[in-house]
Structure 1
Amino acid sequence: MFIDNAKIHLKAGDGGNGAVTFRREKYVAAGGPDGGDGGKGGNIAFLADDNLSTLADFRYKRKYVAQNGENGRAKRCFGKSGEDLVIRVPRGTLIKDVGSGRILADISDVEAQVVLHGGRGGWGNTHFATPTRQVPRFAKPGTPGEEMDVQLELKLLADVGLVGYPNVGKSTLVSVVSEAKPNIANYHFTTLTPVLGVVRIGEGRSFVMADIPGLIEGAWKGAGLGHQFLRHVERCRMLVHVVDVSGSEGRDPKQDFDTINQELEKFDPELAKRPMIVAGNKCDMASDEQIADFKAFVEQKGYSFFPIMAAIRYGVDPLLNKISEMLSKLPPIRRYEPQPAPIIPPEELGQGEVQIKKEDNIFFVEGKWLLQVIRSVNFDDYESVQYFQRVLIETGVIDKLREAGIQEGDTVSIYDIQFDFIE
């Protein structure tokens, strides 16, 4: 079964907690704190697997959780980091945040891509020892790993996409120019799923052709089968529009041509600008006048026209040579860049709930919403740090610290961030 959409839940590993321990050895006086740090939680990454061609596996397993980091131990032993969870998907899969719709990753390359990061391990009490605080009886907990519902969306990687009405000969064309074996029959929607075929036209010259299920009027908004697979055309470097020039099913080939182009434009305006050539199929069933009339119609619109009889491979080689020539001048297959998380204005965050705990003049501040803010801040950038300061002031965190009794010079610890409080 061809499945090209799936929604799953991901949870990266939590960081391990820091340890509160003290060195106790015979003949060693005042050994001091020796609690180790917690281990980092495992990341969640995605890896392209060319042995997979569908997202069907994700219909049965919908929750993926990476391993947590281990807690720190005595004798300054750090906890073991959690193992990364690597999820294999078909090449060309987009990972999107369900909530915002932003693209997290495009799994089209060889390397695995980390999508969710595990939490950092908490500091052991060793880090909190000072000349005036020689027996710190506290440590930092690990931070939780990122958690998110994501949408997996497969967009096939193909150089050339065949588009057109059902039963115009797209599957026949793919079958005679490649090793692909699509279902071929004389009725509509024989092709129920996209079919990829590798076309070789000489030493070192090849390209991938995709047979997209037939489109009909209204496909962009859900009519027929094609609307389910229009997304697979988006990556194609160029399109070949296959038309039945004979009008064997009682339709006007000119109207067919215009209708399908309109459907592509309505689905994605960029598709209307994609390089396209036209293959007029079933020429054996058309008169010379019909072929000449349709050729003039297409060329008037600025497209190259190739009359073919796909079933007997008549006129196919000139078409393939033209495709190869055009591909040599076109940019590579489209890749989607990850979109950064949006910066939320402080006034939209509201008064988020926070927990404040005091340990030896260190004020520990926790709140899930604060953790999300920290992950969007670049602390090496001055403006980003200023944004973080505004968030703390405008959401009332600073006021709550004052209510908790903080004084100038005391330390504030917000997950991975520590700073001295200054009025």
Structure 2
Amino acid sequence: MTRFVDECGLNVRGGDGGAGCVSFRREAHVAKGGPDGGDGGSGGGVWLVADHNVASLIAFKDHPHRRAGNGRHGGGKRRHGATGDDAWVRVPVGTVVRDQGGELLADLAVDGARWLAAAGGQGGMGNTRFSTHLNRVPGFAEQGEAGAQRWLRLELKLLADVALVGFPNAGKSTLISRISAARPKIADYPFTTLEPNLGVVRTGDDFEMVVADIPGLIAGAGEGRGLGHRFLRHIERARVLVVMVDLASVEDVPAGEQQRVLLHELGSYRPELLDRPRILVASRADAGHLDPPPGALRVSAVTGAGLTELVRAMSTAVRTARDREDPPRSPGGSGGSGDVVVHRPVPEGLAVERADDGVFVVLGRAAERAVALSDLHAPGAWDFARRRLRGLGVDRALERAGIKSGDTARIGAFEFEYQDDDEYWAEGAEGDTR
């Protein structure tokens, strides 16, 4: 039997960009042609997309790695490399994405919502791009950029119109099997349901609503006792709560006390859950010996007593809740019905840190690309990279960090001895000077 998995780790890696090409025209009657190296293609990205046809995160439990395609290298005659294929990773609707520290990154709460989990690396420019009037035959090109890579945490919060909430063995599984097409495994012992079950309930006027059978709660679940938080997570998105008390409780816990404990656990976990529309149900009325609390609807999933009234009450509450949603639910509270929300990562900036060995380390995607040339020793290559770094503000950032001429700086895998501009150009830069 396939297990329901509602949380897992996921490793994503964007494709690497292809390298730019160093090439020169070779034609008849042309003694020395100009540069004609093409650009490398960018790597593909890894996208997470919510798909209502996916019910669980089980696909990632034993196979957590997803990678996009690499970009192809550029070629001569200005031939550009092909872009790498994107990887589309389908996850259940209601999937929440967090980083390893627990920070929320994306909430894929509607079908079709997508999020770029790992960007592909940019392709490198060919030497054609670096030709200037001062250096007409550049002997260098740009290397492709490595794709982004990271570990993520995925959590699934079920999307249901109605959540059945109650103690273990309170009859929730039997009830959902009677009012919907769901067929959960049922046995007569506590914690029968160790994973949520979903059922679609249809009324006589073709109205449909999704009902979730949430695993039984225990006292202390709101503070995380047992598997409380994992279970309660699936209640968060429900429009209507059906709070079930058991009239045949083997522990003889009064129905009123059961109601008090269940509401306390909901409030401890998320206080706003107590403001959600709810229906109080007294289950197993056929075998019960306890008195129901005031206002409870008595039902028996075995005999069918009260089920018609319960379904009618649920459909009324769900219709009302749907009508009040303006606009309908979507991630982050933005967008209307049918919107597809695209979450994009925040661009990286520029920073300088001091390593333990005293080296000044420049961090930032743009700075790393500035020195990612195929041959920094080629004539004009370092001068070109130096100007790019200055334009990005790297010199100012290093000076603010306290660097002095003669100190060592590191950008990516490249280390160099720092000189301020006046000193550098006074000594005479190589190749194509300004």
Normalising to structure 2: TM-score of the pair? 0.78
Q: Report the AA paired with residue 418 of structure 2.
A: E
Distance 1:124 1:405, change over 3 A: farther
Summarize deviations over 1:256-277 as a string: whole Å, max 9, x none: 1111111122222232322211
Q: Report the AA paired with residue 14 of structure 1.
A: D
**Offset of 1:312 from its aligned partner?**
1.9
Summarize deviations over 1:368-407 as a string: whole Å, max 9, x none: xxxxxxxxxxxxxxxxx99x99856644689869934546
Which of 376, 379, 385 aligns to 1:363? It is 385
Q: Report the AA paired with residue 313 of structure 2.
A: K
**Offset of 1:315 from its aligned partner?**
1.6
Report what 2:337 is aligned to.
Answer: none
Q: How many residues align?
A: 384
Secondary structure of residue in 2 paired with 1:80: coil
Q: Report the AA paired with residue 308 of structure 1.
A: V
- Asked if the contact 1:91/1:157 (under 8 Å) is kept, the reply is yes
Which of 340, 352, 361 aligns to 1:352? It is 361
> What is the alpha-carbon distance in structure 2 between the residues aligned to residue 353 and residue 278 of structure 1?
61
Of the structure 1 ranges 147-156 and 353-362, higher mean CA displacement relative to structure 2 is found in 353-362
Which of 281, 299, 305 aligns to 1:314? It is 305
**Offset of 1:333 from its aligned partner?**
4.9
Secondary structure of residue in 2 paired with 1:256: helix
Q: Report the AA paired with residue 331 of structure 2.
A: R
Report what 1:279 is aligned to.
Answer: 281
Report what 1:95 is aligned to.
Answer: 97
> What is the alpha-carbon distance in structure 1 between the residues aligned to residue 270 and residue 184 of structure 2?
27
- Asked if the contact 2:98/2:152 (under 8 Å) is kept, the reply is yes
**Offset of 1:45 from its aligned partner?**
1.2
Which of 68, 71, 82 aligns to 1:69? It is 71
- Asked if the contact 1:96/1:151 (under 8 Å) is kept, the reply is yes
- Asked if the contact 2:353/2:362 (under 8 Å) is kept, the reply is no
Report what 2:272 is aligned to.
Answer: 270
> What is the alpha-carbon distance in structure 2 between the residues aligned to residue 232 and residue 390 of structure 1?
50
**Offset of 1:156 from its aligned partner?**
1.4
Report what 2:137 is aligned to.
Answer: 135
- Asked if the contact 1:236/1:334 (under 8 Å) is kept, the reply is no
- Asked if the contact 2:99/2:153 (under 8 Å) is kept, the reply is yes
Secondary structure of residue in 2 paired with 1:328: helix
Distance 1:181 1:142, change over 3 A: same
Q: Report the AA paired with residue 259 of structure 1.
A: V
Summarize deviations over 1:269-319 as a string: whole Å, max 9, x none: 2323222111112233457x923xx11xxx5xxxxx322222222122222
Q: Report the AA paired with residue 290 of structure 1.
A: D
> What is the alpha-carbon distance in structure 1 between the residues aligned to residue 240 and residue 89 of structure 2?
31
Secondary structure of residue in 2 paired with 1:319: helix
Which of 252, 265, 280 aligns to 1:250? It is 252
**Offset of 1:168 from its aligned partner?**
1.5
> What is the alpha-carbon distance in structure 1 between the residues aligned to residue 395 and residue 402 of structure 2?
11
CA RMSD of aligned residues (A): 3.5
Distance 1:216 1:88, change over 3 A: same
> What is the alpha-carbon distance in structure 2 between the residues aligned to residue 23 and residue 392 of structure 1?
40
Q: Pairwise mapping of residues 202-351 of structure 1 onto structure 2 (< 5 A)? A: 202-245=204-247, 247-286=249-288, 290-291=291-292, 294-295=293-294, 305-330=296-321, 331=325, 332-333=328-329, 335-336=331-332, 338=343, 341=346, 351=360
> What is the alpha-carbon distance in structure 2 between the residues aligned to residue 247 and residue 313 of structure 1?
19
Q: Pairwise mapping of residues 153-168 of structure 1 onto structure 2 (< 5 A)? A: 153-168=155-170
> What is the alpha-carbon distance in structure 1 between the residues aligned to residue 273 and residue 255 of structure 2?
20
Report what 1:104 is aligned to.
Answer: 106
Q: Report the AA paired with residue 165 of structure 2.
A: V
**Offset of 1:177 from its aligned partner?**
0.7
Distance 1:89 1:62, change over 3 A: same
> What is the alpha-carbon distance in structure 2 between the residues aligned to residue 290 and residue 51 of structure 1?
43
Secondary structure of residue in 2 paired with 1:152: strand
Normalising to structure 1: TM-score of the pair? 0.79
- Asked if the contact 2:167/2:218 (under 8 Å) is kept, the reply is yes
Distance 1:340 1:43, change over 3 A: closer
Summarize deviations over 1:87-123 as a string: whole Å, max 9, x none: 2223322222223522235163235543221111111
Q: Which runs of no fewer than 5 residues in structure 2 stay unpaired?
A: 334-342, 410-415, 426-433
Q: Which runs of no fewer than 5 residues in structure 1 stay unpaired?
A: 300-304, 368-384, 411-421
> What is the alpha-carbon distance in structure 2 between the residues aligned to residue 191 and residue 339 of structure 1?
37
Report what 2:418 is aligned to.
Answer: 403
> What is the alpha-carbon distance in structure 1 between the residues aligned to residue 361 and residue 98 of structure 2?
26
Report what 1:81 is aligned to.
Answer: 83
Secondary structure of residue in 1 paired with 2:309: helix
Q: Report the AA paired with residue 307 of structure 2.
A: V
**Offset of 1:51 from its aligned partner?**
4.3
Secondary structure of residue in 1 paired with 2:243: strand
Of the structure 1 ranges 398-407 and 102-111, higher mean CA displacement relative to structure 2 is found in 398-407
Secondary structure of residue in 2 paired with 1:310: coil
Secondary structure of residue in 1 paired with 2:291: helix
- Asked if the contact 1:15/1:40 (under 8 Å) is kept, the reply is yes
Of the structure 1 ranges 397-406 and 228-237, higher mean CA displacement relative to structure 2 is found in 397-406
> What is the alpha-carbon distance in structure 1 between the residues aligned to residue 421 and residue 105 of structure 2?
41
Secondary structure of residue in 2 paired with 1:231: helix
- Asked if the contact 1:25/1:31 (under 8 Å) is kept, the reply is yes
Secondary structure of residue in 1 paired with 2:273: helix
Report what 1:370 is aligned to.
Answer: none
